[in-house]
Structure 1
Amino acid sequence: MFYWLLKWVLLGPLLKLVFRPQTEGAENVPTEGPAILASNHLSYVDWMFMPLTLPRRVTFVAKAEYFTSPGIKGWFQKKFFSGAGQVPIDRSGATAAEGALSAATRILGEGGLFGIYPEGTRSHDGRLYRGKTGVARLALETKVPVIPIAVVGTDVVAPPGKKFGAVTRPIVRFGKPLDFSRYEGLENDRFILRSITDEIMYEIMRLSGQEYVDMYATRAKALDKESRKPAGDGTDVPGADSGTTGLKAS
């Protein structure tokens, strides 16, 4: 109930009035039943605009701190993120990825829509980066379709490193559902998982028009940060990201 109050009575009308988001292909999202919504990730406001364009609730995972902070502020924060369709996940320790997959499996098993950013983090330069294979594993284990999504213009509304940029009309494009039932039983084959993930990322690239970079976004960010440092400070460039889920906690 709080979700609908938040979306349609408070947050939704305000965002629609100010930004007038545009939607393309929303008919590709099923009116009932589970589906994975796999999107590019340009800004921290992506999770607001994409669900706003659909009549159904979309659930994401969010860091547990949003739900456990003490005091009045913590209470309102918990209500906000719970109402906005996010569920807590502990990002500490080696079980964080498994916890995210478990939460996603539960949500899809209940017939819900689960939102995921296969890149695993926001793009720092507007380009589309290599997807992590958690989205493929999730699709095979739950046997549900993957709907590729492109959100365009949110990096103008809230650019990387800034709380707010400029008012523009974001566009949310929903692609046709992708069916990977032909790979049933191969969820532990890393080559199949990579192939599925690359197919999803290709569709996102086609919808968004972004330049694709065959590198994990975390690696690209580290290289960009290193290139901005003064020469000779002795700092090594971190290695390539080894995570595989892409189930990012916002």
Structure 2
Amino acid sequence: MNDIAPSPPQPARQLTLTATVGIALATFVVGLLIAGLVVWRMIPAQPVPEPQAAAPATKVIVAPPVASDPASLSARQQMLAAELAALEQRTAAVTGEAANSYGNATRAEGMMIAFAARRAIDRGSSLGYIEQQLRDRFGTTRPNEVAAIIDAGRNPITVEDLRLGLDQIGSQLALGPAGDGWGGSFVRMLGSLVVIHPRNAPSPVPGERLARIRRFLALGQVEAAVEEVKRLPGAAQSKAWLDGAQRYIATRQALDTLEAAALQGNAAAPAPARR
């Protein structure tokens, strides 16, 4: 016989392990339930929204009835007529100011063109684009003056040209025509040595007249120079010089006329630009 006691049966040990696992799971589940209950109590309860009050009804403004009696209608018509008259006055004032501004601008532009033409003529240079500006601004109202200025721009003559021309014909002007020979010229020269004239009158001696003519040209007084040349013995031989001097005078008179027209606002407005 064996003395060794038999080992305890295995089913008892398995039961003990199963009970232990079950207890652990039950404890875990109970812990989760407790934690969930705590969290649920910590969340604040959402307030139940109260029902909104109905919006107040919009008030409808009822316009007072328009008076229909004759006195009220007459007063209203007078008020409207006064407002209309005031509006017309303001409109007329604005229109007048705009017209004045436009007129001043047109006047200034016309004067600038006339001054530019004078400056070119005085220098003896071509007018260039100023020709068309003169036609546009003054061609309708001052056609003769415009034509004279344009011709002077294409065939210029200056005071310096007149002075040089006078130097070339000075001796002929002083001695007179050479058709009657040197004897006639000598006699006229001797006659000019002794001349009786009033004390306050300019000397008629040809040499002194020539000196005065040169002074007049230096001062731009071409009209006075022309009058002195006409009184010299050889005035008949100065036709070409006198024609040039007359063209010079006519051109300046035309420029004066255009400047006066521009100053008075008689220059035409510029034509609209072509597109």
Query: Same fold by TM (over 0.5)?
Result: no
Look at both structures and tell me which one has the larger radius of gyration over its CA atoms.
2
TM-score (norm. length: structure 1)? 0.18
| Larger relative contact order, structure 1 or 2 (CA cutoff 8 Å, min sep 6) | 1
**Larger fraction in strand:** 1
